[in-house]
Structure 1
């Protein structure tokens, strides 16, 4: 390795060519960096003042062709943005000189600093940028820029400096000398024996000036033979980069998570490298490209040609259910490879849609889903196609999947509408419910907005409509599903009276609104009734796919989530709470049987602490209960006590979750 302080003229003068490798990212500097370079240059050349050279950074390269009769070629490992910008600036200076008829200066810049005058083909150019930038850069050098190039960063750079040059009165040759001689650069030239990737990695991975996807591209293409790089890039990497854009890194993260790798956003490159090191790099790139086509359809459902698949992909996409993408990626691959039939694949998509929407409606935390969906594909792998779908349902059922009773309870009492992404998800749910009516003609839901039947701001009319408890009713039911609908007349309806709103609803093409017209007034009872009807429609669209109840031996290793007791639904986190809540229910609803337990089951329940109890918990009524039992013991004991107390067996159940 050789390092020395030099200038641009010494770097590019002579029969040389600098090549930006295929694995490098495209040109990315913009006006911020251009302005900094321009201001540095102006400090050096304005007002004929003498300044020391100005340091602008380093360029790291490695010689790749030492043929004495040809062009000396160098791969640029670091500093490509800086070097490319300086040559574009020189191109603009050259063209200004030509326009001002300083012909000799224009020719000197072109033939000594921009091209290798006596060489043919690509060796003619001093610099060959990477990927799509290469052809545009050639056109800048050859003065052949087209209108189609206008959006290129390279052309924008050229136009920026051209405009700056037109606005100044400096001597053009003085400016040329400033660029070539007074901008100080540290040139680091590696030995051909050095590993360019290790150098690149040390320069870029820690400081993270590149995205994780950039680092991954660099890593893969440095392992590919140069003779195959362009074919692999245009055939596999470029389509991924073009279709996925800013989602490329997230795709690779989901690709890794889908095989149960724990991958944080900042560790994508490191984790991929660990996996890819064990494989043939071209095979790995091809596999990545195949999965990218599935991910592209997850992001852009309109690219899926099958109408039924497209419908469910659109639903999952609209609900922003990206947490399921790691699992869906691999299921998509299995469908593509004929493991699953079309009907089976659609069923799996509908199960995922169902699972995520029902959990959302019931306000169940989504954070655990990242890890769960990461391991899900491996859970199903050992099973046949048909068995794996049943296993999928069983797996999801015990991971926070709500039963109908919980869905109804939450629809009645929880806000479906709100800030953040709640508004869009609320519209999604209402739109799918509207679609479920099966319109003979398509109804345009894209322009519809969410309408609160009872408005967000109460007028005197609405206070009278809701009755004396209007404040409580308004606070309790404003954002629940029963008070929400879709309308194209939201601004017109606003805080209008219910009788006025009904006139609009009666003219609406939406079935959701036709139902509202049946009511003579809009109050608490009307909202509850409509919620119950929408619940019936909801479970038609998203039906419960689990078995009716759990078996006693299913609770081992699980955590309780909900206790269904009588007509109550109680959220619980540990099995001890199931026992406490069951005992208190019996205490309140069958005190005689509770007293019998005090007399006959003193090691389970007692008025005072029993020294023979191992671990006790005080109940709200002041009594003490033994809680040192297994999950299975608590489940079976509570159910037996509940039945022995005279209550119906099917009105007690526990919803469990496997962590």
Structure 2
């Protein structure tokens, strides 16, 4: 469907006056008004400088992106902070004009500001000071009422802490000072602000179009996310008594998500895959997040379990991302589960997350969840690792993942439908593993030799250094040595601090640092060898490929049915 936009530069007065026909609205999903004192001062000083240096040219204030919503209002998508600040500044000028002796100039500009801030009788032009041309509905912003009160009364409490009051009081102070110091320029300042300062309103035909324009133009901070839209939809669907509780729950969930290095946007994205699995949606094309939830008038967002499920997802990421345990969730203390999850974290893309999320939401309350979850995770890691090592692309597993997602809903021992992995091919690929798979492989190997997680900060150590002396290997070309140095047999996990100390030396010089490591396979290596060269790399290549293939086989690679079934 074709979209349309209307772009037409306007003065501040022209734009604000349009609020008489279509009132300006700052919608619920916008973030609270947040301009700092520095930004307020910059706006005022720029306008003052422009007035004093050039009273006749125009001054560009930026863009305002909006669309006309179902209530016939101008819903602001971009420019919320700017337009709010302009309303406050004009109200401060109006308050000063009211306090002055009425001159023809003062009367003129009072009339012009009235036309930009309030509704007026069409016949008499009488001003209704209670009917302002802008309303903020930002969810949970206690300053909304302050904003409306400032515009109607022209007063803000000196001790008020909300940004509307603080910025308005700052404007009042700057206007008063300017009128005192520059009385000859005072009216020119107001004239220029109203009629010479130019805005570029971009009016879209729909919210989707407006948001797209905003995402394209916005380079000043965080763009509106789909989650902001979902928040507003859910909020507006609630009864009045439920809304306050929802604000508190959303705020806490948002904070909790950030604390586990996720976001509300990501939570809704993961949750979409869970809902798709419930609907047996196996299509490999991933729908746009907002478009998916918008189906059937956002009905999926209004289900009573949504917020609880999103909170459960945060619990999952507490274990995965923060390595912490969750009270009353025994599985989170299981070191085998945590080690497999840590291996999955190093899988080269996010496709592993969707089946894990689905399995957790579906079965985490089951009495045998801990045992079944471990079996499922091991098989998932085995299958994904094997397929990616052979074919390091997303497409190697995409269809299988979407099928698995739907199968999880049907059974706690779901069917895995992935291509067969040929033993010799996999073993050869392991030896010269793609750089994207090295960390994952090293974790899987390390966890077969230790009962705790690897240190959080570790690097891939080249046992034989990447920079070597050619005379050290006289029988081999530099290219042969270079290739072997990058083989998996020459790589091992090593704590970052110790790696810095060990530097780029040969094995004998690094051996003491290796012995201080908490990585068990590195400790074992330091004790079992006195030197390290190309033969040792080749031997370890073979040993690692055999060990890893055996591990993947024991975890269920190349088997369709889950080993959960096999135990029954």
Deviations 1:590-632 (A, max 9, x none): xxxxxxxxxxxxxxxxxxxxxxxxxxxxxxxxxxxxxxxxxxx
Compared CA separation, residues 124 and 362, structure 1 to 2 (3 A): same
Compared CA separation, residues 19 and 7, structure 1 to 2 (3 A): same
Q: Which residue of 2 aligns with 1:68?
A: none
Q: Which residue of 2 aligns with 1:370?
A: 398
Deviations 1:469-511 (A, max 9, x none): 2535413311122112233433444443333233443454433
CA-CA distance at 1:213 after TM superposition: 0.7
What aligned pairs does 1:594-613 form with structure 2 within 5 A after superposition? none
What aligned pairs does 1:311-322 form with structure 2 within 5 A after superposition? 312-319=340-347, 321-322=349-350
CA-CA distance at 1:452 after TM superposition: 1.2
Q: Is the contact made by 1:411 and 1:481 (CA closer than 8 Å) also made in structure 2?
A: yes
Q: Which residue of 2 aligns with 1:270?
A: 291
Does the alignment pair 1:344 with 2:372? yes
What aligned pairs does 1:417-428 form with structure 2 within 5 A after superposition? 418=435, 422=436, 426-428=438-440
Tell me the matched-pair count: 490
Q: Which residue of 1 aligns with 2:386?
A: 358
Cα distance in 1 for residues equivalent to 2:97 and 2:165: 25
- The farther-off stretch of 25-34 and 300-309 is 25-34
Q: Is the contact made by 2:502 and 2:510 (CA closer than 8 Å) also made in structure 1?
A: yes
SS of the residue 1:78 aligns to: strand
CA-CA distance at 1:368 after TM superposition: 3.7
CA-CA distance at 1:541 after TM superposition: 5.7
Does the alignment pair 1:490 with 2:499? yes
Q: Which residue of 2 aligns with 1:480?
A: 487
Q: Which residue of 2 aligns with 1:234?
A: 247
Q: Which gives a bigger RCO, structure 1 or 2 (Cα 8 Å, sep 6+)?
A: 2
Cα distance in 2 for residues equivalent to 1:375 and 1:97: 65
Q: Which residue of 1 aligns with 2:509?
A: 500
SS of the residue 2:528 aligns to: coil
Compared CA separation, residues 495 and 23, structure 1 to 2 (3 A): closer
Deviations 1:547-573 (A, max 9, x none): 8889xxxxxxxxxxxxxxxxxxxxxxx
Cα distance in 2 for residues equivalent to 1:542 and 1:167: 75
Match of 1:104 among 95, 99, 107: 99
CA-CA distance at 1:535 after TM superposition: 4.3
Q: Is the contact made by 1:458 and 1:495 (CA closer than 8 Å) also made in structure 2?
A: no
Compared CA separation, residues 443 and 333, structure 1 to 2 (3 A): closer
Cα distance in 2 for residues equivalent to 1:212 and 1:346: 34
Compared CA separation, residues 123 and 455, structure 1 to 2 (3 A): same
Compared CA separation, residues 522 and 267, structure 1 to 2 (3 A): same
CA-CA distance at 1:335 after TM superposition: 1.5
Q: Is the contact made by 2:66 and 2:78 (CA closer than 8 Å) also made in structure 1?
A: no
Deviations 1:29-88 (A, max 9, x none): 899998997799568733473457979657667798xxxxxxxxxx85423654653443
Does the alignment pair 1:45 with 2:51? yes
Cα distance in 2 for residues equivalent to 1:519 and 1:314: 29
Q: Which residue of 2 aligns with 1:650?
A: none
Match of 1:307 among 333, 340, 355: 333
Cα distance in 2 for residues equivalent to 1:46 and 1:504: 68
CA-CA distance at 1:130 after TM superposition: 0.2
Q: Which residue of 2 aligns with 1:433?
A: 445
Compared CA separation, residues 135 and 307, structure 1 to 2 (3 A): farther
Deviations 1:182-219 (A, max 9, x none): 55679999xxxxxxxx9643652564647561585288
CA-CA distance at 1:332 after TM superposition: 1.6
Q: Which residue of 2 aligns with 1:458?
A: 468
Q: Which residue of 1 aligns with 2:210?
A: 204
Cα distance in 2 for residues equivalent to 1:429 and 1:358: 10
Runs of 5+ consecutive residues of structure 2 not aligned to the other structure: 1-7, 101-105, 120-129, 151-155, 216-222, 327-331, 561-568
Cα distance in 1 for residues equivalent to 2:377 and 2:164: 41
Q: Is the contact made by 1:24 and 1:218 (CA closer than 8 Å) also made in structure 2?
A: no
Match of 2:532 among 518, 522, 527: 522
Q: Which residue of 2 aligns with 1:22?
A: 28
Q: Is the contact made by 1:481 and 1:531 (CA closer than 8 Å) also made in structure 2?
A: yes
SS of the residue 1:486 aligns to: strand
Q: Which residue of 2 aligns with 1:71?
A: none
Deviations 1:404-459 (A, max 9, x none): 544433333x145x4xxx3xx534543453343236xx686234332212111112
Runs of 5+ consecutive residues of structure 1 not aligned to the other structure: 65-74, 117-121, 190-197, 551-659
Deviations 1:362-416 (A, max 9, x none): 4443324233322323234444x4xxx2x43xx24xx24646544433333x145
SS of the residue 2:461 aligns to: strand
Deviations 1:82-134 (A, max 9, x none): 46534435546878999xx99937xx99x989999xxxxx9999643402444
Deviations 1:123-157 (A, max 9, x none): 999643402444388389544455xx7xx899899
Compared CA separation, residues 84 and 532, structure 1 to 2 (3 A): closer
SS of the residue 1:544 aligns to: helix
Compared CA separation, residues 543 and 104, structure 1 to 2 (3 A): farther
What aligned pairs does 1:214-229 form with structure 2 within 5 A after superposition? 216-217=229-230, 220-221=233-234, 224=237, 227=240
Compared CA separation, residues 525 and 188, structure 1 to 2 (3 A): closer
Q: Which residue of 1 aligns with 2:476?
A: 469
Q: Which residue of 1 aligns with 2:565?
A: none
Match of 1:79 among 76, 79, 100: 76
Q: Is the contact made by 1:362 and 1:410 (CA closer than 8 Å) also made in structure 2?
A: yes
Q: Is the contact made by 1:28 and 1:81 (CA closer than 8 Å) also made in structure 2?
A: no
Q: Quick check: which has more Rg, 1 or 2? A: 1
Match of 1:328 among 353, 356, 366: 356
Compared CA separation, residues 533 and 183, structure 1 to 2 (3 A): same
CA-CA distance at 1:323 after TM superposition: 0.8
SS of the residue 1:454 aligns to: coil
Q: Which residue of 1 aligns with 2:153?
A: none
Match of 2:271 among 246, 255, 277: 255
SS of the residue 1:489 aligns to: helix
CA-CA distance at 1:236 after TM superposition: 6.2
CA-CA distance at 1:180 after TM superposition: 4.5
Compared CA separation, residues 38 and 328, structure 1 to 2 (3 A): farther
Q: Is the contact made by 1:7 and 1:184 (CA closer than 8 Å) also made in structure 2?
A: no
Question: Which TM-score applies when normalising by structure 1?
Answer: 0.58
